[in-house]
Amino acid sequence: MYLCPMMIPKHTVQEVLDASKVEEVVGEYVQLSKRGVNRIGLCPFHNEKTPSFTVSPAKNIYKCFGCGESGSSVDFLMKHEHFSFPQAVRRLAEKYGIHIEEEEQTPEQIAKENEREGLFAVSKFAADFFYKTLNETDSGRAIGHSYFVERGFRQETIDKFQLGYSPEEWDALAVAAQAAGYSIDSLAKAGLVIKKDQGGVYDRFRNRVIFPIHNISGRVLGFGGRILINDKKKPKYVNSPESLIYDKSNVLFGLYLAKNQIIKKDNCYLVEGYTDVVSLFQSGIENVVSSSGTSLTEGQIKLIRRYTPNITILYDGDAAGIKASFRGIDMIVRAGMNVRVVLFPDGEDPDSYAKSHSADELDAFLEKSAKNFICAKLWKP
Of 334, 281, 338, the C-alpha closest to 308 is: 338
pLDDT above 50 for 200: yes
Give 204's contacts (C-beta < 8 A, 6+ positions apart): 191, 192, 193, 194, 225, 238, 240
Phi-psi region of 116 (alpha: psi -120 to 50; beta: other; left: phi over 0): alpha
Query: 220-261, pLDDT tens digit by residue?
Result: 999 999 999 877 788 999 999 999 999 999 999 999 999 888
Cα(150)–Cα(66) distance, integer angstroms: 50
Query: Angle at the Cα of 242 (from 241 to 247), degrees rounded to 5?
Result: 140
φ/ψ (deg, to 5) at 40? -130, 160
φ/ψ (deg, to 5) at 55? -115, 130
Cα(8)–Cα(124) distance, integer angstroms: 25
pLDDT at 321: 56
Residue 354 near residue 66 (C-beta atoms within 8 A): no
Query: Which of the pair, 322 or 48, is modelled with greater confidence?
Result: 48
Cα(133)–Cα(120) distance, integer angstroms: 20
What value does the mean pLDDT take over residues 258-266?
Answer: 87
pLDDT at 319: 57
pLDDT at 288: 97
Query: 336-365, pLDDT tens digit by residue?
Result: 899 998 888 878 889 999 989 998 999 899
Looking from the CA of 53 toward its CB, the CA atoms found within 13 Å total 22
Residue 66 gets which letter from DSSP? T
Q: Does domain 250-372 have CATH number 3.40.50.1860?
A: no
pLDDT above 60 for 187: yes
Of 64, 76, 69, the C-alpha closest to 27 is: 76
Q: How confident is the model at residue 305 (pLDDT cuts 50, 70, 90)?
A: confident
Query: 118-154, pLDDT tens digit by residue?
Result: 999 999 999 999 999 999 999 999 999 999 999 999 9
User: Taking the C-alpha atoms of 64, 69, 72 and 77 in order, what is their torsion angle to the nearest 10 degrees?
Assistant: -110
Q: How long a stretch of residues is the chain?
A: 381
Give 264's contacts (C-beta < 8 A, 6+ positions apart): 287
Residue 126 near residue 177 (C-beta atoms within 8 A): yes
> What SS3 class is residue 184?
helix
Span 114-246: which CATH code? 3.90.980.10
What is the overall mean pLDDT for the chain? Answer: 88
Span 6-104: which CATH code? 3.90.580.10
Report which listed range, 16-20, 64-68, 306-310, is most confident.
64-68
pLDDT above 70 for 381: no
Query: 79-126, pLDDT tens digit by residue?
Result: 998 888 888 999 999 999 998 876 666 777 677 678 888 999 999 999
| Burial of 322 per CB tally in 10 Å (0-12, 13-18, 19+) | middle
In DSSP terms, 166 is beta-bridged to 208
How do the domains of the chain map onto residue ranges? Answer: 6-104, 114-246, 250-372
